[in-house]
Amino acid sequence: MTTVICSDGRRLTLGATLGKGGEGAVHHIVESADIAAKIYNPGKAKDRRDKVNAMVSDRLHTRSDYVAFPIEALKSPSGEFLGFTMKKVAGFKSVHDLYGPGSRKTEFPTADSQFLLRSAINLANAVASIHATGCVIGDINHSGILVSNKALVTLIDSDSFQYRSGPNTYRSLVGVAEYTPPELQGATFSKVDRTPIHDNFGLAVLIFQLLFLGRHPFAGRYLGKGDMDIKTAIGAGRFAYSARKTETMMEPPPFVPGLGDYGEDVRKALEAAFMPPARQPGGRPTAASWSAILKGVEATLAVCTVDKSHAYKRELSSCPWCKLEKTMGRSLFPAHFSPAAPVMDIGQLLNAIKTMPAPPSPPNAESVIGPLASLTMSQTGKSARNERNATVAAGVIAVGVGLYLMAQVSGFWGIALSLGAIVIAGRSLDLKTKFASELNGAKAGWEEQHKNWVKKAGPEAFEARRSHYIALGATHSGLPAKEREKLAALEQKKRQLQLDKHMDAHLIDRAKIPRVGPGRKATLASYGFESALDVRQRSVTGVPGFGPSLASEIEGWARTVERKFVYNASIPTDPAAVQAAKSEIAKQRAEIERDLLKATADLKHLADTAQALRTKPPQQLIDAYTRLKQVELDIG
């Protein structure tokens, strides 16, 4: 074992390796279960020595519980700087394993929608605490953020943070393009002083990924010519989910939550975070403001009555997660169905539904409305009659003149004038032609309102709803048999299920695929391609930027994964697939029981509404009837 010397003179022994990276390795400390040591690779220690010593001297580790800051500098027995000690982060996993639906199934198997929101809140709190120390993360991205199974957040790689100590600024020298703000895209980081404003962009990306199923906010379909990669989209401010669609020329990928599902405050904050810098009068939301906004969302959550793993803004009319899962055809979280206990068994409930008396047929609508005693001819009708009378009078005079002309001047012109006058006068006597359009409109309006009234005032609406509930009851009765069929089918597909599980365990993000770097992996994830199974089931060529050549690289990798599969007939049917089948039936049962439990109240409401409508017709029906009678009166 290797012995190292702390800056306070204590001798420590390096134990087993906890992890390795490009800069060095993290080791257990034999003398302490709570402390770990980061030892730099040869040639790396010198570049970090002064920053680490400054962080240790300023005791940053006492100023934030969210970060594994350096505690003591470590040297070799000969005095060579080697690295530092830090608190041990045990039981935490990458935030990427949490926000990616595929990896979440295995790494965070109990995480639900509230867990994602709580993790986002703790991430915002962590970044706020870092900024309070005077540090800027700089290279903020998913790789340095860890989450526990209780949604606690810790940041590692603190030695890469930008830190100012006295006159010295120790910069963050690297950055991941997918989390870099537009104003720093393409910058040389060794020459740039980062600010919290820059961190706020990367934080917003991570919060978006936690809340929106691992999708990247700038990965979408470009509506202009050519493709739009994530880095270019960031530089141009093309937020794919923005309401500024005519400006961004982007549309989001399919199967994602709506931007407004988390409420107006979150929507506005995301728009502000991803707006081009020149158009951000208030700047990007800070970590502290994100914490307050997300806590506000958390305080107004309602738990789905069907699936307890779903929680959503109480102001929404229905659960957006249920709708999304139904569209996608798969569960996003471990289902937790807890149907409300019925006040009676389903058989009794259906019997009550079947025996409820339906409303009687409605009486004649005109008799319910009654006579319109106050109805008088309208001014339009009076004007039409006056015009007709004047025309008739003029016609009589014209006929007289025509007769005179026939007798005294010219028989032809006299006859022509008389006949013309008679035709014009005759047409003016028929007011139906003049009021034809109004009459047709009034009849159509009355027929529509009368039809609606008959439907609701009589048994039609009631019986249609009763039939719906009886059909639900029949479906409910058939669920046990349906579950048995599904489980039997799984047993027949044991080999296929093993292959699917094998393929699904190989994640694109962890694979080395030629020409597919972090940016393209983020785009694939935004379109639901997370594993080799996704590649086998759908064509990658539908993803923006993935033509036949690039798609062949990914499909070739998936085929390589598939060739490594070995079937084991002795392994029982995949428990996860069995549970998924049972969960699907349980969800259907919960949804049906939820609807059936409100059936009697719903039918009673329809019966009461029918009774009220038969007693007192709605104003729309009266208005339509009045309009029709007014036109008929005006026609005379």
Same domain? 244 vs 393: no
What is the domain extent for residue 27? 1-89
CA pair distance 145, 66, nearest whole angstrom: 10
Alpha helix ranges (H) inside 8-73: 45-57
Question: Could you give the number of structural domains in the chain?
Answer: 4
On whether both 201 and 329 belong to a single domain, the answer is yes
Query: Residues 595, 473: contact at Cβ < 8 Å?
Result: no
* Boundary-marking domain end, from 25, 57, 89: 89
Same domain, 190 and 295: yes
Give the DSSP H or E segment for 198: helix 196-211
- The residues of the chain scoring below 50 in pLDDT are 340-343, 414, 417, 421-429
- Which residues, in sequence order, are CB contacts of 192 under 8 Å at separation 6+? 171, 184
Asked if residue 159 and residue 298 are part of one domain, the reply reads yes
Of the three residues 336, 368, 399, the one that is the final residue of a domain is 336
Q: Are residues 329 and 349 in the same domain?
A: no
* Whether residue 460 sits in one domain with residue 385: yes
Cβ atoms of residues 511 and 559 within 8 Å: no
Last residue in a domain, options 539, 566, 593: 566
What is the C-alpha to C-alpha distance for residues 240 and 225, in angstroms, rounded to an integer? 16
CATH number at residue 332: 1.10.510.10
Q: Is 313 helix (H, G, I), strand (E, B) or coil?
A: strand
* Shared-domain flag, residues 291 and 420: no
Q: What is the pLDDT of residue 421?
A: 47
Supply angle C-alpha 248, 251, 252, rounded to 5: 125
State pLDDT tens for residues 294-326: 999 999 999 998 888 999 999 999 999 999 988
User: Do the Cβ atoms of 157 and 24 come closer than 8 Å?
Assistant: no
> What CATH number does the domain containing 77 carry?
3.30.200.20
Residues 431, 290 within the same domain: no
352-355's contacts with Cβ under 8 Å and 24+ in sequence apart are: 352/600, 353/466, 353/469, 353/470, 353/473, 353/599, 353/600, 353/603, 354/466, 354/470
Q: Are both 332 and 402 inside the same structural domain?
A: no
User: What's the CA gap between 355 and 377, in Å, rounded?
Assistant: 50
pLDDT at 411: 54
Token couple for 329: 């055809």
Asked if 84 and 97 sit in the same domain, the reply is no
Q: Which two tokens stand for residue 277?
A: 């810098």
Q: What is the pLDDT of residue 451?
A: 93
The secondary structure of 122-154 as a DSSP string is HHHHHHHHHHHTT-B--S-SGGGEEE-TTS-EE
What is the C-alpha separation between 144 and 202, in angstroms, rounded? 12
pLDDT at 428: 47
**pLDDT confidence of residue 520:** 93
100 and 41 part of one domain: no
**Residues 381 and 365 reside in one and the same domain:** yes
